Amino acid sequence: MAAEIDLEPFSDVELLRLWKRIQQVLRDRGTGRTSNIVSDVAERLVSLSLNLTLAKNSTRGYDATAATGERYQVKARLATAWNGSRQLGDIRHLGKNDPFEFLIAVFFGDDFPNVHAAYKIPIEVVRKFVRKKGDRDVLIIRGPILVAPGVEDITSRMTAQPVVK
């Protein structure tokens, strides 16, 4: 990797413009699809590693499909020095119908985009462990959920696949 770039001399306005430009370049390269680069990288990495086809942006309830038709929801978390939470973003559309068969939880750390941990979780387990937080459904990936029947640690499959140039 290139030497660490000293960003201190830049103003806030310059940094925000750089951030916007970086998003555009990553989108042009196919690494990013939205303004949420952590989720975009996780979705791309999962699709490459598990041989899935990414759904169109904003597809309701899932992010990718397998050749067998199974649908996958991908959630990612970037741990930082100021926030090491293992709570995933909102899990939407958990009503009567199954919006997906598996949730893939991907955790990144300071060495992003390297994967620290990844889990394949059946929707039945998601429903068992999801908690209401106001009007949202949230899932925290720690403790009993990690050893629930059907949950698979797929970290090694995620770390073997290069996602970016």
User: Is residue 91 helix, strand or coil?
Assistant: coil
What average pLDDT does the structure give for the chain? 89
Residue 154 belongs to a domain with what CATH number? 3.40.210
Which H/E stretch holds residue 121? strand 115-122
Q: How far is residue 110 from each of residues 20, 62, 79, 113, 122, measured CA to CA in Å? A: 21, 27, 7, 8, 28
Establish if 26 belongs to a structural domain.
no
Establish if 69 belongs to a structural domain.
yes
Q: In residues, how long is the chain? A: 165
Which structural domain, as residue segments, surrounds residue 120? Answer: 36-159
Backbone angle region of 2, left / alpha / beta, with phi > 0 → left and psi within -120 to 50 → alpha = beta
How many domains does the chain contain in total?
1
pLDDT tens sequence across 43-100: 999 999 999 999 998 888 999 999 999 999 999 999 888 888 898 988 887 876 889 9
The Cα–Cα gap between 72 and 87 comes to 18
Q: What is the model's pTM?
A: 0.88
Establish if 11 belongs to a structural domain.
no
pLDDT tens sequence across 1-20: 456 889 999 999 999 999 99
